[in-house]
């Protein structure tokens, strides 16, 4: 089986784009609300994404609000000391990220006049910004057709298509291609990304997923196997 051909993985009822459309329809009725979702400011988005790495959104929320009040722009952040920044990240148990955030702010102010680039290659050269965060910036701030793939999104894709992935799923080409092919149109990037994140948190949970509430269960390999007991 070719790893690059998404239509050769197990049996499915719909094309990935139809799955994406159904998830967006579900999300429009079930979306969660957070302040970093209400802005297209790339600075506020990158701060939220750095804080959200391996940290629950509800835990991040109060720290994020205090942080952007203290440092409302990337220029304010660049003028701050690492110790000042550390006081916020310490609350999340992410003290080591303070130095990275400081380096990020300094570089963006110096090289890009305080505006995070719209180019993925340039974004990946900035401290603290990797594959996931670069795609989040491109999608949430700039409306580009980029899909954010983390362990939660991988869980949806692996269960849906009955994949057996050796190693880290988010780096697997098949998983990434299937995720990208779920995008119904270039304009739906933000909606699909948020739909995938909320669906993974509320329905397709790591433990005890709510399969009977799933709008794509009839095409889900995991659900069919579970139903057969």
Per-residue pLDDT of 180-223, as tens digits, reads 999 988 788 999 999 999 999 999 999 999 999 999 998 999 99
Q: Which two tokens stand for residue 81?
A: 């000391």
Is the pLDDT assigned to residue 26 strictly greater than 60?
yes
Task: State the distance between the two ends of the chain, measured CA to CA, in whole angstroms.
Answer: 27
Architecture of domain 41-141: Orthogonal Bundle (1.10)
Total residue length of the chain: 229
Cα 193 from Cα 136, distance rounded (Å):
8
Where along the chain do its domains lie? 6-32+146-228, 41-141
Architecture of domain 6-32+146-228: Orthogonal Bundle (1.10)
Burial per residue of 127-150, b for 16 or more beta-carbon CB atoms within 10 angstroms, e otherwise: ebbebbbbbbbbbbbbebbbbbbb
Q: CA 16, 129, 28, 212: dihedral to nearest 10 degrees?
A: 60
Is the pLDDT assigned to residue 8 strictly greater than 50?
no
Predicted confidence at residue 1, as pLDDT, reads 34
Predicted confidence at residue 13, as pLDDT, reads 61
pLDDT digits (tens, 9 = 90+) for 111-165: 999 999 999 999 999 999 999 999 999 999 999 999 999 999 999 999 999 998 8
Predicted confidence at residue 147, as pLDDT, reads 94
Residues with a catalytic annotation lie at 49
Cα 165 from Cα 79, distance rounded (Å):
45
Determine contact, residues 8/172, Cβ cutoff 8 Å.
no
Among the listed residues 86, 128, 24, the one whose alpha carbon sits nearest the alpha carbon of residue 116: 128
Is the pLDDT assigned to residue 2 strictly greater than 80?
no
Band of residue 4 on the pLDDT scale cut at 50, 70, 90: very low
Q: Which residue has the tokens 């159904």?
A: 22
Is the pLDDT assigned to residue 6 strictly greater than 50?
no
Same CATH topology for 6-32+146-228 and 41-141: the answer is no
Cα 177 from Cα 191, distance rounded (Å):
18
Predicted confidence at residue 229, as pLDDT, reads 62
Is the pLDDT assigned to residue 5 strictly greater than 50?
no
Element (H, E) at 136: helix 131-136
Determine contact, residues 123/141, Cβ cutoff 8 Å.
no
Q: How far is CA 164 from the centre of its chain?
A: 22
Is the pLDDT assigned to residue 85 strictly greater than 60?
yes
């Amino acid at each position: 089986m070719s790893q690059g051909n998404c239509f050769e993985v197990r049996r499915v009822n719909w094309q990935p784009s139809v799955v994406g459309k159904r998830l967006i329809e579900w999300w429009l009725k079930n979306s969660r609300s957070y302040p970093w979702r209400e802005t297209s400011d790339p600075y506020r988005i990158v701060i939220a994404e750095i804080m959200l790495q391996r940290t629950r959104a509800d835990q991040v929320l109060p720290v994020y609000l205090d942080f952007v009040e203290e440092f409302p722009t990337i220029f304010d952040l660049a003028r701050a000391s690492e110790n000042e920044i550390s006081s916020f990240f310490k609350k999340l148990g992410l003290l080591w990220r303070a130095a990275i955030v400081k380096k990020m702010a300094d570089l963006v102010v110096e090289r890009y006049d305080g505006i995070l680039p719209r180019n993925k290659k340039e974004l990946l050269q900035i401290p603290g910004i990797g594959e996931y965060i670069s795609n989040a910036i491109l999608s949430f701030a700039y409306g580009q057709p980029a899909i954010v793939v983390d362990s939660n999104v991988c869980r949806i894709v692996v269960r849906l298509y009955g994949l057996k992935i050796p190693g880290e799923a988010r780096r697997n080409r098949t998983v990434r291609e299937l995720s990208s092919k779920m995008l119904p149109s270039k304009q739906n990037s933000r909606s699909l990304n948020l739909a995938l994140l909320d669906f993974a948190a509320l329905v397709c949970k790591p433990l005890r997923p709510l399969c009977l509430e799933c709008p794509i269960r009839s095409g889900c390999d995991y659900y069919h196997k579970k139903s057969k007991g």
